Amino acid sequence: MSQKMQQYIDEAEQALLHTYNRYQVVFEKGDGVYLYDVDGRRYLDFVAGIAVFALGYHNEEYNDALKVQIDKIIHTSNYYYNVPAVEAAKRLKAVSGMDRVFFTNSGAEAVEGAIKTARKYAYLKDGRTDHEIIAMHHSFHGRTMGALSVTGNPHYREAFEPMIGNIRFADLNDFDSVAKQVTDKTCAIIFETVQGEGGIYPATEDFMKKVRALCDERDILMILDEIQCGMGRTGEMFAWQRMGVRPDVMTVAKALGCGVPVGAFLMTEKVGANSLKAGDHGTTYGGNPLACAAACKVLELYDKLDLLEHVKKIGGYLQDCLDSVAAEFDCIETRRGVGLMQGLVFDRPVGDIITRAMDKGLVLINAGTNIIRFVPPLVIDRQNVDDMTAILRESIREVCGGR
């Protein structure tokens, strides 16, 4: 490590709150699917800022759209209308099939809004304030208090108890476990269509359809968290569209802004007309012109680049390559995932493998202690996958040995 990079790291450790165990690298710029550190070294990026930079780095059309908007107006507040918010909402409705949009600053805030929507919807039906929400074990919905309350990892919650309360947990893809948690107080069932942090677990079509039928029967809101798995990562704009099971409320963020902080929660017209009203929810920065200009351009470029078809093709190739790697090493138990959201499950912690890969110019991250997660920019090509696979094999061999 150069003296220059070490100095930046030392200064960061003195100035920033230590809530992250960061990798020992300081990135300075990006281009395409590559990142460059302050010493000019290039790294193939299979993290994309945790599934954020779908378009890759330095996309000129995206950058130019932001520059144009900066020269117009960046912020006005939600006391007034602005053109980019209207355009972004129209585009988001068109690709999602949902009816109403509320823009937020992040995914966690989108989950907060979804929770409030469910509770207000139930409150308007019966006037009670003791409604319950069913969430999934091993889920991850964010670090704010509401989002944390429905996050199915006790370790994340224990130091911050009590949570918001009236949350029950079931198992993803085990419908009976969900049904057993339903009471006359249940107002919503929330889960990720593909669990990310919890280990790259896709919800099955059978599970999705059974939960949908239960929600319809009991007038319970089905909330799908598409923050990481949405925006084309599975080959459909939203992962639930693969199975045709539309939620009542949906959360989205990450790649919606491709680097500019913007999220949203969306709902059907029925929910929109019978839940949050003026004064029930708000945000100062959410939906500001700059963030929404980013979302508009992202959605436009998805269509222009035919990204969904590209993901279906390159996602299949990535899956085949990872299956080949899994078959080669005894330390790998299985591969899981959909499209360009994949995971390799190991029989041991993967931190050393990720560090070795970083040393060789490949950026990877984990999902839990024993899973390597692959969430690259959606614009990667076959050569990028081949390059990644070669470095991955070498790194695994150095840590785990041969078979």
- Give the model's confidence band at 403: pLDDT under 50 very low, under 70 low, under 90 confident, else very high: low
Mean pLDDT of 58-72: 97
Question: At a CB cut-off of 8 Å and minimum separation 6, what does 390 contact?
Answer: none
SS3 111: helix
- Give the model's confidence band at 390: pLDDT under 50 very low, under 70 low, under 90 confident, else very high: very high
Q: Which of 260, 297, 274, 342 is nearest to 53 (CA)?
A: 260
Q: Which of 66, 57, 64 is nearest to 84 (CA)?
A: 66
Whole-number pLDDT of residue 1:
81
Distance CA(190)–CA(144), nearest Å, equals 16
Give 314-358 pLDDT, tens digit per residue: 999 999 999 999 999 999 999 999 999 999 999 999 999 999 999
E strands present in 165-267: 167-170, 186-192, 194-195, 201-202, 221-225, 249-252, 263-267
Give 211-232 pLDDT, tens digit per residue: 999 999 999 999 999 999 999 9
Q: Strands 221-225 and 249-252, how do they pair?
A: parallel
CB count in 10 Å sphere of residue 368? 16
Buried b (16+ CB within 10 A) or exposed e, 161-181: eeeeebbbbbebbebeebeeb
Residue 362 pLDDT > 70? yes
- Give the model's confidence band at 8: pLDDT under 50 very low, under 70 low, under 90 confident, else very high: very high
**Number of Cα atoms under 13 Å in the Cβ half of residue 350:** 24
Q: Which of 225, 296, 110 is nearest to 233 (CA)?
A: 225
CB count in 10 Å sphere of residue 312? 15
Question: At a CB cut-off of 8 Å and minimum separation 6, what does 66 contact?
Answer: 260, 290, 293, 294, 297
What is the token pair recorded at 169?
């947990």
E strands present in 194-294: 194-195, 201-202, 221-225, 249-252, 263-267
Q: Phi/psi of residue 245, each to 5°?
A: -110, 95
Q: Strands 34-37 and 221-225, how do they pair?
A: unpaired
Distance CA(182)–CA(287), nearest Å, equals 35
Domains and CATH numbers, the chain: 3-55+306-400 (3.90.1150.10), 61-304 (3.40.640.10)
Question: At a CB cut-off of 8 Å and minimum separation 6, what does 195 contact?
Answer: 136, 138, 139, 140, 172, 201, 202, 203
CB 274 within 8 Å of CB 117: no
Buried b (16+ CB within 10 A) or exposed e, 56-91: bbebeebeebbeebeeeeeeeebeeebebbebbbeb
Residue 402 pLDDT > 80? no
Query: Looking at this protein, which amino acid is placed at residue 207?
Result: F
- Predicted TM-score (pTM) of the model is 0.96
Mean pLDDT of 232-255: 98
DSSP 173: T
Residue 156 pLDDT > 80? yes
Q: What is the mean pLDDT of the chain?
A: 97
Beta-bridge partners for 250: 224, 266
Whole-number pLDDT of residue 401:
82
Residue 92 pLDDT > 80? yes
Whole-number pLDDT of residue 249:
98
E strands present in 22-99: 27-31, 34-37, 42-45
Give the length of the chain: 403
- Give the model's confidence band at 203: pLDDT under 50 very low, under 70 low, under 90 confident, else very high: very high
Distance CA(327)–CA(345), nearest Å, equals 12
End-to-end CA distance of the chain: 32
Whole-number pLDDT of residue 9:
94
